[in-house]
Structure 1
Amino acid sequence: MSANLLWSIDDSLALGARIARVARPGDVVTLSGPLGAGKTSIARGLLNELGLEGEAPSPSYAIVQPYAPPEVQFPVLHVDLYRIEDAEEAVELGLWEARHDSLLVVEWPERLPELTWVDALRLTLLIESDGVRRLTAMVPEAWRQRWSLI
């Protein structure tokens, strides 16, 4: 299932908040799109809704930015795979182990094989030539009922 919508940064923050209301540990949300499209804004909206005070830093340099209670309602890993060269490097990050009790929010998921994200809520933001952002959502079965609540 996919949907195309016109999108702003405020919409990205609000979408992140709505996703947080239905997300749970074990879920994966992937965020694709060019630099400046609003990926980190979706993650920030999600983290703020889960209780994070202040602005979440981009995990570009740390690659994985963990959050845990009481900072947020349940464990979240905000991941930026932009600097990952191959799948072997990703194994060292411990994402698969953390997935059992954490929500994974993954920017640049295309740096790993697509099958890695088969059950993820996959969001793609594109910037059109007129500067308008467009969101496409690929909604797997595990998210279908919850997506209607978003």
Structure 2
Amino acid sequence: MTTIRPVGAEAAPALLKIVRAAFSTRPVLDPPADALRDTEESLAKALANGGGLVASYDVSAGPENDRDVGALVLDPQGSTLWLRRVGVLPEVRDHGVATMLVEEALARAEGYDEVAVLAREELPRTSRFWREHGFVPVGAARPYVELRRPAPRTYDAPDADSMREIGATLAARLRPGDVVVLAGELGAGKTTFTQGLGAGLEVRGDVTSPTFVISRVHPALGDGPPLVHVDGFRLGGVAELDDLDLDTSLDEAVTVIEWGEGIAEGLADDRVEVRIDRALADDAARQDGLDPRRVRIAPVGRRWLGTPGSSA
């Protein structure tokens, strides 16, 4: 099992060991990777500024057997959180360790507008990894490519009214052609969130679950876009969305897809991913009438870069 822990300057020796092992096995570059010039002192200074993350892999039972296998440095600069020295040991590559590190870094990007990273032009696989995680190239200064993505935002929804309010706030940022992908367990509040979107967009009709009809179109009452509400659980793939008998063009509507995880990447490069989770894992607390939700809104794609308040 892999775990991620935050670290500070005290972890510079461990981080240096990971960075050297990770970067020294990459193809030879000219000029060499900056990471290969790191020292304990330089990493300690960087970690003292913004901290970092270390991934540990449990090679056998018991925490005493955990082995540090990946790391990154968090480098805050104004409204941007930079990710530096992202590396994992060669023997655990393609095991999801880098993805776990990046997801944890994104979770720590609250309060920032964007998250950024530099990738070497000569390493297209590395750039592809970042694009698969929602980062888009915004410029190049050889030998580097700069990639960015909007920082996610997390909101607490103690009740259904709060959930609708969060949806309505996001609606104010949406425009025709936008896609919103909703994820969360059964009963998490995806339809309630969509009701808030519909109210914010000022569309006609009661927003209910599309489970039995696969999709439902809510025309706009005014000059705004209509809302297309889709059940992604019963949608076989992206191609089937185009085959739906809709009386509106998706380019002219805001499309909301419940259970959309897994097809979002092929549906739209620019999208808003919304995940709704229960904030309390304690069943006893829920029996007392407390069942709040936590809503994570993560815009993805060039459309949302540099957009004030893009995360609602």
SS at 1:45 equivalent: helix
Partner of 2:277: 126
* Distance change >3 Å, CA 17–CA 65, structure 1 → 2: same
- Structure 2, unmatched stretches of 5+, are 1-150, 283-290
Query: Cα deviation per residue 1:94-147 (whole Å; 9 max; x = unaligned)?
Result: 68x822111111111125252324310111011241344222221224235253
- % same residue: 30
- Structure 1, unmatched stretches of 5+, are none
Task: Give the stretch that moved more between structures: 70-79 or 35-44.
Answer: 70-79
| 1:20 equivalent among 145, 160, 171 | 171
Is 1:143 paired with 2:293? no
Amino acid at match of 1:129: A
TM-score (norm 1): 0.81
Q: Give, in angstroms, the shift of residue 76 of structure 1.
A: 1.5
* Distance change >3 Å, CA 50–CA 87, structure 1 → 2: closer
Aligned 8 A contact 1:85 1:111 in 2: no
Amino acid at match of 1:143: W
Query: Cα deviation per residue 1:15-58 (whole Å; 9 max; x = unaligned)?
Result: 11112222111111111111111111111011122224663221
Amino acid at match of 2:230: V
Structure with larger RCO (C-alpha < 8 A, sep 6+): 1
Larger radius of gyration: 2
* Distance change >3 Å, CA 85–CA 74, structure 1 → 2: closer
Matching of residues 41-60 of structure 1 within 5 Å: 41-52=192-203, 55-60=206-211
Q: How many residues align?
A: 149
Instruction: Name the one with the larger strand percent.
Output: 2
Partner of 2:215: 64
SS at 1:59 equivalent: coil
Query: Cα deviation per residue 1:83-104 (whole Å; 9 max; x = unaligned)?
Result: 2234443342268x82211111
Q: CA RMSD in A?
A: 2.7
TM-score (norm 2): 0.42
Is 1:6 paired with 2:156? yes
Partner of 2:231: 80
